[in-house]
Structure 1
């Protein structure tokens, strides 16, 4: 089986992590609205990338396009929680023995208004029943410095995603999530 990476929604803040994944892969499939104009700026690296310029608006078409490139040994994703069909189908695109890493915002760990489980917990529980793939989350927090808070930089976000590629944990928090009231506004 070919060592393929799926890089979904990774051309912005996760570009350094996407580069790391693409360097390890024989082929990388990059999916974003502007994938056709994305470049790592490295001719050899760009040559092993397939660009799929899709948004989440047409999840069935996106999934059909992804299925034609699957299975993936690594999937690194940043997708909004509302893309439920896409999120639920990701595990089927990962090869046995592969890894699915989902990057999620800080609100992904919050329970629903009526005590419903968080999206991060729902995903972790669902993927726990997929013993053939490794599942890891990166939850994005914030940084407290000198009595003030700031959001993570692109470098800090990518560093957490790369750490998950190198040594996956069930959940890795990038920055901190506490105190919740101290997060930047």
Structure 2
């Protein structure tokens, strides 16, 4: 059993992965805009969860609220790409030897303007230098079936996140990202 788990933005498509992390934790902190309405539907599991209804629009205040529960032994996060301060501060909330799993959309691997590194690459490079932290990305792709493409469903997304918690890789692609022009519109 791990110590504290941070489950950030995981009450929707990542709920099954959040459940997996919470089951292994002594305490789980679930953070989303509507976390107060969230329940795993299991009294014992819900009893070890602290649900914080917060928005990271005010990143300094948001981080201040999280610091109260840190350090985290495991974190599973789904954060919009532009929340740069929040992303950059997550490693400071982790316990030595902790595991940070970041779930990112397919566009996170695209290079920026003028060939700037992608957000996924920037994050991987920044966290590779953290010796006391295991960093694992899940990049969400799509599925090609019968000549058509579809986005991943919740079960497929959570399965990739659970795989990263169980056997972390620097980057795990859920589904496929190629051919890029074949992605669902």
- Residues 65-104 of structure 1: pairs in structure 2 closer than 5 A: 65-104=65-104
Residue 20 of structure 1 corresponds to: 20
Q: Secondary structure at the match of 1:124?
A: helix
Partner of 1:53: 53
**SS of aligned partner of 1:172:** strand
1:123 aligns with 2:123: yes
CA distance in 2, matches of 1:56, 1:82: 11
Aligned-pair Cα RMSD in Å = 0.7
Which residues in structure 2 correspond to 1:174-185 (within 5 Å)? 174-185=174-185
For residue 108 of structure 1, give the secondary structure of its aligned residue in structure 2.
helix
Structure 1, residues 41-98: CA drift from partner, whole Å, max 9, x if none? 0000000000111111111111001001000000000000111110000000110011
In structure 2, stretches of 5+ residues that fail to align are none
User: How many residues are aligned here?
Assistant: 184
CA–CA distance in structure 1, aligned partners of residues 113 and 86 of structure 2: 24
Match of residue 145 from structure 1: 145
Instruction: Give TM-score scaled by structure 2 length.
Output: 0.98
Over 4 Å off, 4+ runs: none
Determine the structure 2 residue equivalent to 1:172: 172
**Correspondence for 1:111:** 111
